[in-house]
Structure 1
Amino acid sequence: MLLSAPELLKEESRSVVVRAQVRGGPVPVVILKHFRDDLVCGLDDQAGAEFLTRRGLELGPRFLAGDVDARLFVLEDLGRGRSLEELLRGEDARAATGGLIATARLAGQLHARTLGTQSEYELIRQALPPRHQRVRVENARFLLEHEGRLLRWLAAVGAQAAPGLHEDLEAVARTLADPGPFLAFTHGDLAPGNVLFTPSGPRLLDFEYAGMRHALYDALMWLVTVPLPDELVARADITYRITLSAQCEAAQVDSAWTRARATVALARTVNLFQWLHPRVLEEDREWAPGLSERAALLHHLARCRSLLAPVEGFPGLARTLETLEARLRERWNVPPFVWPALREME
């Protein structure tokens, strides 16, 4: 098999991605991924693609081969297409809306079809240079070990933590570490730029943060992370829930569903305050293209508050975040972010 006509697609500190034509091989075009600096992310990416391929799930690019020593693996090329982010930044509201709903359905299919497969995934991942800790345990530990970063924000705005904050964080961390019936294989970075619409349908790209964790971790994309109209969030949520419910009985129970959404939303909102430094109080910077750090923080707080409303529990954490939100809104008057394709829906 000979490769020709290489095309550089991405060159970052973490990885290099090249498309190449194949002479005499089983597929006409392949994608080569070389992970340079972050071995864990590179191996998680490779393991995720190999896992889906072995299970026959055509939800991402098909894994073809890998060489750990070379830090290189090969994928089938999905062809050219538009990402969900490109649809949202376009002018076609119908295409953008349909793209988001299709993404929610795709995530539901991914999770429904990988419930209870943690042993199979671990066999693939640990056959590579093994991970010393499961990704869901890493997520839980980060939440607890960096509680001080949330307290730093409270001090910076002259607020105090509500009683029970630490206990609520521990409860959220326990669920992250042990999601029970919601444990599934997750993409881990379900951003609009990582969903590609191909002639065969939507496909997921880049599994660098993939692993077995709470299924709704991926649903955070529309629930919390990406600013979207409430109507569209509701449509994505019900589409995802219906798809996941085909295999997950817990997703059929309203109380379990609302608590699961609130739990992952709390974790992600606290994480954002752990990732960002209070210097944002003095200087706003870009968090994602077109979205500032201040806008992201306020959006996360508002969405988290909405998802917590129907849930009993987490009173200390809920009151702490409500106080933080009130103090930040006193300081900031940030216009909400609106995707170009969805302006008429706002």
Structure 2
Amino acid sequence: MSAAWGRPVLLGAPELLKAESRAVVVRAQARGGPVPTVILKHFPDELVCGLDDWAGAEFLTRQGLDVGPRFLAGDVAARLFVLEDLGPGRSLEDALRGEDARAATGGLIATARLTGQLHARTMGLKSEYDLVRQALPPRPQRVRVENARYLLEHEGRLLRWLAAVDAEAAPGMHEDLETVARTLADPGPFLTFTHGDLAPGNVLFTPNGPRVLDFEYAGMRHALYDALMWLVTLPLPDELVSRADITHRITLSSQCEAAQVDSQWARARATLALARTVNLFQWLPPRVLEEDREWAPGLSERAALLHHLARCHALLATADGFPGLARTLESLESRLRERWTVPPFVWPALRQSGF
């Protein structure tokens, strides 16, 4: 830090914020620095995630985008980098689990708008991002190619689910999966910088509006990868999903002509929803048939699987293509609903909201 700023910097006693396998995170006072307190992130074991996090923060800082904490300094040998401290605040997850419906719904829409701004303002900046990321020890392959390969290489995990419930893969399923993977690897006009792990706990509300934290899975990929948070992942009322979708689309459309075309937008949503739904069946083994566990606080694995299938079905209904994969997932959903009765999940803040 002293070298980066050209003057002595003295750090105060660290306050441990998080100690996980991916990173150890502390807050400390920085006497003599450009900000009063800083966040230090140490990634002793997860080198690729740590460097992706570093590169994402540095890239956004270089572009002057006020989306997350500013990157301040780093040391590859120490596997450590330093960020601006945004201070304490409530997360989007705090809002959804609270009692204020207006704060929760407004927070989600503000997050969708911020995400659209992030995507719009990083359209066409692939080379600029690559310069930052490749200046660090380079990753084995581009994150979007990694996502596409995972989808295809673990097709057998989806087939095991089908066999476990006596369902069959419809003709054309594999070819549709290849089409989805090709779009992940080459998003065309939707290629932009993405957070990669947009979740309610990674959105912090500050006096200057929402900011996004933790870029461990960031990289250049399809813009709607981040939109999966409201399109597929979170159990949300349809009206709120539509509002977030429209907000993101309008904001992104300022720089992305493809987002202005209804058919292209519908197909993009369906493509990414298919990828994420298949991914969930690749991440969770068929043992869920015998034992249900918590997937996220208040939401079980069975509930998550059924929710993903339902949202994917709804998005496929608005788009052309993918008949083989669509029929396969419909068959799987039907079999699972015969086995499971899962009560709907409602966020505490939305229970009395009228949605």
- Category of TM-score, reference length = shorter chain: over 0.9
Q: Which residue of 2 aligns with 1:156?
A: 164
Q: Which residue of 2 aligns with 1:317?
A: 325
Q: Which residue of 1 aligns with 2:310?
A: 302
Deviations 1:274-299 (A, max 9, x none): 00000000000011111100000000
1:222 to 216, 225, 230: 230
**Structure 1 position 243 matched with structure 2 position 221:** no
**Equivalence map 1:1-346=2 (5 Å):** 1-344=9-352, 345-346=354-355
Shift in Å at residue 25 of structure 1?
Answer: 1.2
CA distance in 2, matches of 1:160, 1:97: 40
The DSSP-based 3-state class of the residue aligned with 2:35 is: coil
| TM-score, reference length from structure 2 | 0.97
CA distance in 1, matches of 2:228, 2:46: 24
CA distance in 1, matches of 2:143, 2:268: 18
Structure 2 unmatched ranges of 5 or more = 1-8
CA distance in 1, matches of 2:308, 2:278: 9
Q: Which residue of 1 aligns with 2:6?
A: none
**How many pairs does the alignment contain?**
346
The DSSP-based 3-state class of the residue aligned with 1:197 is: strand
Aligned identity (percent) is: 86
The DSSP-based 3-state class of the residue aligned with 2:122 is: coil
CA distance in 2, matches of 1:102, 1:113: 16
CA distance in 1, matches of 2:346, 2:13: 39
Shift in Å at residue 5 of structure 1?
Answer: 3.1
RMSD: 0.6
TM superposition outliers: structure 1 runs of 4+ over 6 Å:
none
Structure 1 unmatched ranges of 5 or more = none
CA distance in 2, matches of 1:59, 1:197: 11
The residue type equivalent to 1:240 in the other structure is: H
Shift in Å at residue 80 of structure 1?
Answer: 1.0
The residue type equivalent to 1:10 in the other structure is: K
